Amino acid sequence: MRVHAKPKKKARALLIEDLERIVRYLSSQPDIKAIRNSALLQIAFFGGFRRSELVSLQCEYVKWESEGVSLLLPRSKTDQAGEGVLKAIPYGDDSCCPATALQRWLKVSGIDTGAIFRRIDQWKRIGEQALHPNSVNKILAECAAAAGLDYVPEFSSHSLRRGMATSAYRAGASFRDIKRQGGWRFDGTVQGYIEDADQFKENAMQSLLRTKNKSAQ
């Protein structure tokens, strides 16, 4: 008897419209942790960062430009030559602006050296050490639940990278630009996200169902 393995469960993509919903919720909370979380989630999404990369970001490698902010990763999973990976994130609109959110967090926290994203204790005191990578999953889940999203159990920190790729493709970004922003080594990984984004748009059943509906009228 042949036993088939269960398909690997994928993290659900956090789409841009749901990120905007989370950001709107966080902007309504007059709390330093909400300011940090808004910056963290927006930078993670628009920078296409892995969670280990996100928590390793340092103030010393932040550069402000007229178009937005550039963030240098001295070391990255896909940086075989050890030259560092640079991520550029443009300014956005009122609903989402990761660069502005990061500026606000750094100003409010007073952080100007070392780790950008740090632990905040129950007394609202900011720690000296960077967040643990596992904290990104928890922060995303808590913020998504508070914002009223009903599929929180399907999320992980990888939802941010998947969501960036899917949302960017739907908005018309090129395959090359999506791959570069996410720092993916293999075309197949990016292609998988794009296929997920197009599962209804480029679907053989669309034509069949349209034809059937017309004949029924």
Q: Give the integer Cα–Cα distance in Å for 164 and 48.
A: 6
Biggest distance spanned by C-alpha atoms of the chain: 67
pLDDT of residue 141: 95
Q: Element (H or E) spanning 62, and its range?
A: strand 62-64
DSSP run (H or E) holding 127: strand 126-130
C-alpha distances out from residue 33 to 6, 89, 168, 184, 191, Å: 39, 22, 28, 30, 36
Enter the DSSP assignment of 68. Answer: E
Domains of the chain by residue range: 16-206
Residue 191: per-residue pLDDT = 86
Burial readout 27-50 (b: 16 or more C-beta within 10 A, e: otherwise)? eeeeeebbbbbbbbbbbbbbbbbb
pLDDT of amino acid 3: 47
With tokens 């030259």, the residue in question is: 83
Along the 217 residues of the chain, how does pLDDT read in single tens digits? 454 545 456 788 899 999 999 999 999 998 999 999 999 999 999 999 999 999 999 999 999 999 999 999 986 555 555 568 899 999 998 789 999 999 999 999 999 999 999 999 999 999 999 999 999 999 999 999 999 998 888 888 889 999 999 999 989 999 999 999 998 888 988 888 777 766 656 655 656 666 555 555 5
CATH topology of domain 16-206: hpI Integrase; Chain A (1.10.443)
Question: Quick one: how many helices (H) and strands (E) in the chain?
Answer: 9, 5
Q: How far is CA 55 from CA 93, 174, 217, in A?
A: 25, 28, 57
pLDDT 10s digits, 17-30: 999 999 999 999 98
Output DSSP code: residue 78: T
